[in-house]
Chains A and B, each alone.
Chain A
Protein backbone atom coordinates (compact mmCIF):
# COMPACT_ATOMS: atom_id res chain seq x y z
CA UNK A 1 0.00 0.00 0.00
CA UNK A 2 1.18 3.50 -0.74
CA UNK A 3 0.80 6.56 1.50
CA UNK A 4 -2.42 7.62 -0.26
CA UNK A 5 -4.20 4.29 0.25
CA UNK A 6 -2.95 4.13 3.83
CA UNK A 7 -4.41 7.61 4.44
CA UNK A 8 -7.70 6.56 2.80
CA UNK A 9 -8.02 3.60 5.16
CA UNK A 10 -7.12 5.73 8.17
CA UNK A 11 -9.76 8.37 7.30
CA UNK A 12 -12.25 5.64 6.36
CA UNK A 13 -11.74 3.97 9.75
CA UNK A 14 -12.31 7.29 11.43
CA UNK A 15 -15.50 7.94 9.41
CA UNK A 16 -16.81 4.41 9.96
CA UNK A 17 -16.54 4.74 13.74
CA UNK A 18 -15.66 2.28 16.47
CA UNK A 19 -18.49 -0.15 15.62
CA UNK A 20 -17.11 -0.80 12.15
CA UNK A 21 -13.37 -0.46 12.84
CA UNK A 22 -12.84 -4.23 12.49
CA UNK A 23 -14.36 -4.15 9.01
CA UNK A 24 -12.06 -1.36 7.92
CA UNK A 25 -9.11 -3.38 9.24
CA UNK A 26 -10.40 -6.33 7.20
CA UNK A 27 -10.55 -4.18 4.05
CA UNK A 28 -7.05 -2.81 4.70
CA UNK A 29 -5.67 -6.34 5.21
CA UNK A 30 -7.06 -7.32 1.77
CA UNK A 31 -5.46 -4.22 0.24
CA UNK A 32 -2.12 -5.42 1.67
CA UNK A 33 -2.68 -8.75 -0.08
CA UNK A 34 -3.22 -7.16 -3.51
CA UNK A 35 -0.23 -7.58 -5.76
CA UNK A 36 0.01 -4.24 -7.55
CA UNK A 37 -1.91 -1.00 -7.16
CA UNK A 38 -4.54 -1.12 -4.45
CA UNK A 39 -5.87 2.43 -4.93
CA UNK A 40 -9.14 1.35 -6.61
CA UNK A 41 -9.77 -1.17 -3.82
CA UNK A 42 -9.04 1.47 -1.16
CA UNK A 43 -11.31 4.04 -2.83
CA UNK A 44 -14.13 1.47 -2.91
CA UNK A 45 -13.58 0.70 0.77
CA UNK A 46 -13.56 4.40 1.62
CA UNK A 47 -16.85 4.83 -0.25
CA UNK A 48 -18.29 1.79 1.54
CA UNK A 49 -17.27 3.22 4.94
CA UNK A 50 -18.81 6.62 4.20
CA UNK A 51 -22.01 5.08 2.81
CA UNK A 52 -22.36 2.74 5.77
CA UNK A 53 -21.86 5.55 8.29
CA UNK A 54 -24.35 7.75 6.45
CA UNK A 55 -26.92 4.91 6.45
CA UNK A 56 -26.44 4.22 10.17
CA UNK A 57 -26.26 7.84 11.23
CA UNK A 58 -28.06 9.74 8.48
CA UNK A 59 -29.59 12.39 10.74
CA UNK A 60 -26.13 13.36 12.01
CA UNK A 61 -24.70 13.32 8.46
CA UNK A 62 -27.45 15.71 7.31
CA UNK A 63 -26.77 17.85 10.38
CA UNK A 64 -23.02 17.99 9.57
CA UNK A 65 -23.79 19.01 5.97
CA UNK A 66 -26.41 21.61 6.90
CA UNK A 67 -24.63 23.22 9.85
CA UNK A 68 -22.05 25.19 7.76
CA UNK A 69 -24.81 26.39 5.41
CA UNK A 70 -27.01 27.58 8.28
CA UNK A 71 -24.08 29.25 10.10
CA UNK A 72 -22.90 30.97 6.89
CA UNK A 73 -26.40 32.33 6.20
CA UNK A 74 -26.74 33.48 9.81
CA UNK A 75 -23.30 35.13 9.66
CA UNK A 76 -24.27 36.97 6.48
CA UNK A 77 -27.54 38.11 8.08
CA UNK A 78 -25.73 39.40 11.18
CA UNK A 79 -23.11 41.06 8.98
CA UNK A 80 -25.61 43.00 6.88
CA UNK A 81 -27.82 43.87 9.85
CA UNK A 82 -24.95 45.25 11.94
CA UNK A 83 -23.23 46.87 8.93
CA UNK A 84 -26.26 49.04 8.25
CA UNK A 85 -26.45 50.04 11.92
CA UNK A 86 -22.74 50.78 11.89
CA UNK A 87 -23.06 52.78 8.66
CA UNK A 88 -25.80 54.87 10.23
CA UNK A 89 -23.51 55.26 13.25
CA UNK A 90 -26.10 53.74 15.56
CA UNK A 91 -23.55 51.28 16.92
CA UNK A 92 -19.76 51.68 17.27
CA UNK A 93 -17.35 49.82 14.95
CA UNK A 94 -16.07 47.53 17.68
CA UNK A 95 -19.59 46.34 18.47
CA UNK A 96 -20.29 45.51 14.83
CA UNK A 97 -17.03 43.55 14.56
CA UNK A 98 -17.77 41.78 17.85
CA UNK A 99 -21.17 40.73 16.48
CA UNK A 100 -19.53 39.32 13.33
CA UNK A 101 -16.96 37.38 15.31
CA UNK A 102 -19.45 36.08 17.86
CA UNK A 103 -22.29 35.31 15.41
CA UNK A 104 -21.49 31.53 15.20
CA UNK A 105 -21.29 31.34 19.01
CA UNK A 106 -24.86 30.03 19.62
CA UNK A 107 -24.38 27.22 17.08
CA UNK A 108 -21.04 26.14 18.51
CA UNK A 109 -22.62 26.06 22.00
CA UNK A 110 -25.64 24.12 20.76
CA UNK A 111 -23.79 21.32 18.92
CA UNK A 112 -22.13 19.70 22.00
CA UNK A 113 -25.46 20.02 23.80
CA UNK A 114 -27.31 17.93 21.22
CA UNK A 115 -24.47 15.53 20.40
CA UNK A 116 -21.80 14.07 22.68
CA UNK A 117 -18.08 13.47 22.26
CA UNK A 118 -16.07 13.27 19.06
CA UNK A 119 -19.14 13.58 16.79
CA UNK A 120 -19.83 17.08 18.12
CA UNK A 121 -16.18 18.05 17.69
CA UNK A 122 -16.20 16.79 14.08
CA UNK A 123 -19.42 18.70 13.28
CA UNK A 124 -18.05 21.93 14.75
CA UNK A 125 -14.62 21.50 13.10
CA UNK A 126 -16.20 20.95 9.67
CA UNK A 127 -18.54 23.93 10.15
CA UNK A 128 -15.65 26.15 11.27
CA UNK A 129 -13.47 25.23 8.29
CA UNK A 130 -16.36 25.66 5.84
CA UNK A 131 -17.43 29.00 7.29
CA UNK A 132 -13.83 30.28 7.28
CA UNK A 133 -13.52 29.21 3.64
CA UNK A 134 -16.54 31.31 2.57
CA UNK A 135 -14.75 34.71 2.57
CA UNK A 136 -11.70 33.17 0.85
CA UNK A 137 -13.87 31.69 -1.94
CA UNK A 138 -15.81 34.94 -2.22
CA UNK A 139 -12.63 37.00 -2.52
CA UNK A 140 -11.15 34.65 -5.09
CA UNK A 141 -14.38 34.84 -7.10
CA UNK A 142 -14.24 38.63 -6.90
CA UNK A 143 -10.80 38.45 -8.52
CA UNK A 144 -8.66 39.29 -5.50
CA UNK A 145 -5.20 37.90 -6.18
CA UNK A 146 -3.66 35.62 -3.54
CA UNK A 147 -0.76 38.09 -3.12
CA UNK A 148 -3.24 40.81 -2.22
CA UNK A 149 -5.37 38.38 -0.26
CA UNK A 150 -2.52 37.46 2.02
CA UNK A 151 -0.98 40.92 1.85
CA UNK A 152 -1.20 43.86 4.25
CA UNK A 153 -4.13 45.52 2.42
CA UNK A 154 -6.50 42.69 3.13
CA UNK A 155 -8.36 42.61 6.40
CA UNK A 156 -10.48 39.76 7.72
CA UNK A 157 -12.77 42.22 9.50
CA UNK A 158 -12.25 45.43 7.61
CA UNK A 159 -14.14 48.11 9.41
CA UNK A 160 -12.75 51.54 8.55
CA UNK A 161 -11.81 53.72 10.24
CA UNK A 162 -12.01 51.75 13.46
CA UNK A 163 -11.19 48.07 13.84
CA UNK A 164 -8.83 46.22 11.51
CA UNK A 165 -8.05 42.54 11.97
CA UNK A 166 -5.63 40.88 9.54
CA UNK A 167 -6.16 37.50 7.86
CA UNK A 168 -4.26 35.24 10.27
CA UNK A 169 -5.40 37.20 13.32
CA UNK A 170 -8.97 37.08 11.99
CA UNK A 171 -8.94 33.32 11.63
CA UNK A 172 -7.32 32.99 15.07
CA UNK A 173 -9.97 35.24 16.65
CA UNK A 174 -12.73 33.25 14.93
CA UNK A 175 -11.17 30.01 16.13
CA UNK A 176 -11.01 31.33 19.69
CA UNK A 177 -14.72 32.25 19.52
CA UNK A 178 -15.71 28.81 18.18
CA UNK A 179 -13.48 26.97 20.65
CA UNK A 180 -14.81 28.95 23.60
CA UNK A 181 -18.41 28.31 22.53
CA UNK A 182 -17.69 24.60 22.06
CA UNK A 183 -16.03 24.38 25.46
CA UNK A 184 -19.00 26.17 27.03
CA UNK A 185 -21.50 23.82 25.33
CA UNK A 186 -19.51 20.76 26.45
CA UNK A 187 -19.33 22.06 30.03
CA UNK A 188 -23.08 22.70 30.03
CA UNK A 189 -23.71 19.19 28.73
CA UNK A 190 -21.55 17.67 31.47
CA UNK A 191 -23.46 19.69 34.04
CA UNK A 192 -26.84 18.55 32.65
CA UNK A 193 -25.70 14.92 32.64
CA UNK A 194 -24.52 15.23 36.26
CA UNK A 195 -27.81 16.82 37.31
CA UNK A 196 -29.81 14.11 35.58
CA UNK A 197 -27.62 11.29 36.93
Chain B
Protein backbone atom coordinates (compact mmCIF):
# COMPACT_ATOMS: atom_id res chain seq x y z
CA UNK B 1 0.00 0.00 0.00
CA UNK B 2 1.04 3.60 -0.65
CA UNK B 3 0.98 4.60 3.04
CA UNK B 4 3.66 2.12 4.05
CA UNK B 5 5.98 3.10 1.18
CA UNK B 6 9.43 4.29 2.19
CA UNK B 7 9.97 8.03 1.95
CA UNK B 8 12.59 9.27 -0.53
CA UNK B 9 15.50 11.47 0.68
CA UNK B 10 13.83 14.49 -0.99
CA UNK B 11 10.54 13.76 0.77
CA UNK B 12 12.40 13.49 4.07
CA UNK B 13 14.21 16.78 3.40
CA UNK B 14 10.87 18.44 2.73
CA UNK B 15 9.27 16.96 5.85
CA UNK B 16 12.29 18.04 7.89
CA UNK B 17 11.95 21.60 6.57
CA UNK B 18 8.30 21.60 7.59
CA UNK B 19 9.06 19.92 10.94
CA UNK B 20 11.54 22.69 11.82
CA UNK B 21 8.58 25.09 11.95
CA UNK B 22 5.68 22.75 12.79
CA UNK B 23 3.16 25.45 13.62
CA UNK B 24 3.91 27.66 10.58
CA UNK B 25 2.28 27.55 7.19
CA UNK B 26 5.04 27.60 4.55
CA UNK B 27 4.68 28.53 0.88
CA UNK B 28 5.96 26.46 -2.04
CA UNK B 29 8.67 29.02 -2.82
CA UNK B 30 9.89 29.02 0.79
CA UNK B 31 10.06 25.22 0.75
CA UNK B 32 11.94 25.29 -2.57
CA UNK B 33 14.48 27.68 -1.03
CA UNK B 34 14.79 25.68 2.20
CA UNK B 35 15.25 22.31 0.50
CA UNK B 36 16.91 23.33 -2.76
CA UNK B 37 14.27 21.40 -4.68
CA UNK B 38 13.12 22.68 -8.08
CA UNK B 39 9.40 23.11 -8.77
CA UNK B 40 9.33 20.00 -10.99
CA UNK B 41 10.47 17.86 -8.04
CA UNK B 42 8.88 19.82 -5.20
CA UNK B 43 5.25 19.66 -6.28
CA UNK B 44 5.02 15.92 -7.04
CA UNK B 45 6.42 15.35 -3.53
CA UNK B 46 4.00 17.84 -1.96
CA UNK B 47 1.09 16.13 -3.76
CA UNK B 48 2.23 12.67 -2.61
CA UNK B 49 2.75 13.79 0.98
CA UNK B 50 -0.64 15.52 1.04
CA UNK B 51 -2.29 12.37 -0.38
CA UNK B 52 -0.68 10.39 2.47
CA UNK B 53 -1.87 13.06 4.97
CA UNK B 54 1.73 13.67 6.06
CA UNK B 55 1.12 17.38 5.45
CA UNK B 56 -1.90 19.63 5.22
CA UNK B 57 -2.49 22.53 2.88
CA UNK B 58 -4.64 25.64 2.79
CA UNK B 59 -5.07 28.83 0.82
CA UNK B 60 -3.82 31.93 2.61
CA UNK B 61 -4.95 35.45 1.80
CA UNK B 62 -2.16 37.56 0.25
CA UNK B 63 -0.19 39.99 2.41
CA UNK B 64 -0.11 42.55 -0.42
CA UNK B 65 -3.34 43.73 -2.05
CA UNK B 66 -3.88 42.76 -5.68
CA UNK B 67 -1.94 39.50 -5.33
CA UNK B 68 -3.63 36.07 -5.64
CA UNK B 69 -4.07 33.85 -2.55
CA UNK B 70 -1.20 31.42 -1.98
CA UNK B 71 -1.19 27.76 -1.13
CA UNK B 72 0.65 26.99 2.11
CA UNK B 73 1.72 23.76 3.78
CA UNK B 74 2.16 22.50 7.33
CA UNK B 75 3.29 19.15 8.69
CA UNK B 76 0.68 16.95 10.39
CA UNK B 77 1.03 14.69 13.41
CA UNK B 78 1.23 11.71 11.04
CA UNK B 79 3.98 13.50 9.14
CA UNK B 80 5.98 14.10 12.32
CA UNK B 81 5.60 10.44 13.29
CA UNK B 82 6.66 9.29 9.81
CA UNK B 83 9.71 11.57 9.98
CA UNK B 84 10.70 10.26 13.43
CA UNK B 85 10.25 6.69 12.22
CA UNK B 86 12.37 7.35 9.11
CA UNK B 87 15.06 9.04 11.23
CA UNK B 88 15.26 6.06 13.59
CA UNK B 89 15.40 3.62 10.66
CA UNK B 90 18.16 5.51 8.86
CA UNK B 91 20.23 6.09 11.99
CA UNK B 92 19.94 2.46 13.20
CA UNK B 93 22.81 1.04 11.05
CA UNK B 94 25.00 3.91 12.18
CA UNK B 95 24.12 3.26 15.83
CA UNK B 96 24.81 -0.45 15.33
CA UNK B 97 28.18 0.33 13.74
CA UNK B 98 29.23 2.44 16.73
CA UNK B 99 27.89 -0.04 19.35
Contacts and interface: CB of A to CB of B under 8 A. Distances in A.
Contacts of B36: none
B44 A44 contact: no
A25 B71 contact: yes
A26 interface: yes
B38 A44 contact: yes
Given A33-B27, A33-B29, A52-B47, A27 B68 contact: no
B3 interface: no
A34 B47 contact: no
Interface string B25-42: 001110000000011111
Contacts, number: 59
A47 interface: yes
Contacts of B39: 27, 30, 40-42, 44-45, 48
A contact residues, range: 20 to 34
A62 B91 CA distance: 41
A50 to B, nearest CB: 10
Contacts of A191: none
B28 A30 contact: yes
Contact of B29 (A34, A40, A42): A34
B67 interface: yes
Q: Name which of A27, A33, A40, A43 has the most chain B CB atoms within 10 A of its CB.
A: A33
B contact residues, range: 10 to 19
B84 to A, nearest CB: 27
Nearest to A45: B39
Interface in A38-71: 40-45, 47-48, 51-52
A32 to B, nearest CB: 6
Contact of B27 (A30, A40, A44): A30
Contacts of A48: 39-44
Given A27-B39, A30-B28, 10 more contacts: A26-B71, A27-B43, A29-B68, A33-B70, A40-B38, A45-B43, A48-B39, A48-B41, A48-B44, A51-B40
18 contacts: A23-B43, A23-B71, A26-B70, A27-B43, A29-B71, A30-B70, A32-B67, A33-B67, A41-B39, A42-B39, A44-B40, A44-B41, A44-B42, A47-B40, A48-B39, A48-B40, A48-B41, A48-B43
